[in-house]
Amino acid sequence: MGAIVVMDPRMDTGMNVNNNNDEQQSFDIDKRLSGKQTLNIMDQLVVREMAWISGHSLSQTVFTCIYFHHVQKLSQLPMPTLSNSSAEDTIYGVLKAYILATLKCCHYIFMEMSQGNVYEEEDFTTNLFGLSLNDQQRSVTIFNDLDFSLQLLNHRLSHCGDITEEDRQIFIALQKRVELRKSFLLSLVHLSQYSLSEAKKELEKMMIILDNLDLSLGEDYPYAFDANINRKLTSQTPPRPVELVSVEQSYKEFKAMIERLISICDVTEFSSVTSLMNYFIAFGSRRPYPDAFSRSKLNVNMVYISRQS
């Protein structure tokens, strides 16, 4: 864990990184992006979110997104209006809501993992390295932004007669990703409150969306991410090297995690100790091995159920 990969800009803090990309250095979070670029940012956030859940540090994954270092400003920006907003403003409002919702999801996952219900340190890193998960912002505010961003997209799809077929597909893809993020955040809220039936409803909605998600529309936009940010955050404790997987593989891992969470929501339906033990054996023998977050949720829910009974 203490070894340094020499000349890896994410780990070797003594390396002089010559970044000549002016757009990367002067990235403006107020800049309006195209729908395809926004889709790419959303998908790349899922890639980094799954890398974080798989055991890498927050500073190496989610917080390589530059937007996450400006959440205070983002949270104060007003959402565009239904009647007078341009397509660019609509897309920016959707991106803002998605960024804040993703951070809130990270907050709920972090709060779960910081309880120490699983003890394999290699599986999850709870060190925030001084980063803020913006936990002071209320979930209801974020849900309001998500709902309004869906209204903006529906308005754009319903009242813009001159919209091209390509733009229509892009707006639908944005809509699906916002719905996916909203259901994930709702499921995390319900799971934190032990409302397993309500969490299962949202998780099942996610499965339907994931089965029909178009991953071909995004346009590469690397400027919203900077892996070198990590060097400023963890200079005294070099993290382990991380190799980000493809968008397709990340969504596959995301879907597998959702399937595990759905099965955890059904633990109350087992009628005997034998059937419950068989479930534990099957759960633990899955390949790939269940992620630490799912295992923690299983432990917490079993403790809660045993106390209730």
The token duo for 4 is 């340094």
pLDDT at 17: 47
pLDDT tens string, the chain, 309 residues long: the values are 445 555 555 555 444 445 545 444 567 889 999 999 999 999 999 999 999 998 888 888 999 999 999 999 999 988 998 888 889 999 999 999 999 999 999 999 999 998 877 766 567 777 787 788 888 889 999 999 999 999 999 998 887 667 888 999 999 999 999 999 999 999 999 999 999 999 999 999 999 999 999 999 999 998 999 887 766 665 455 556 778 899 999 999 999 999 999 999 988 877 788 888 888 888 888 888 888 899 999 888 877 766 666
Q: Provide the pLDDT for residue 108.
A: 95
- 9 domain-assigned: no
Q: Is 4 inside any structural domain?
A: no
Cα–Cα distance for residue pair 140/75, rounded to 1 Å: 13
Cα–Cα distance for residue pair 248/300, rounded to 1 Å: 30
- Asked if residue 199 belongs to a domain, the reply is yes
Asked if residue 3 is part of any domain, the answer here is: no
Q: Considering the domain boundaries, does residue 133 fall inside one?
A: yes
Residue type, 234: T
C-alpha to C-alpha distance for 39 and 216, rounded to whole angstroms: 10
Global confidence as pTM: 0.88
pLDDT of amino acid 270 = 78
Q: Which pLDDT does position 60 carry in this prediction?
A: 85
Q: In total, how many domains does the chain have?
A: 1
If you compute the radius of gyration of the chain from its CA atoms, what whole number of angstroms results?
20
285 assigned to some structural domain: yes
Place of tokens 């800009």: 9
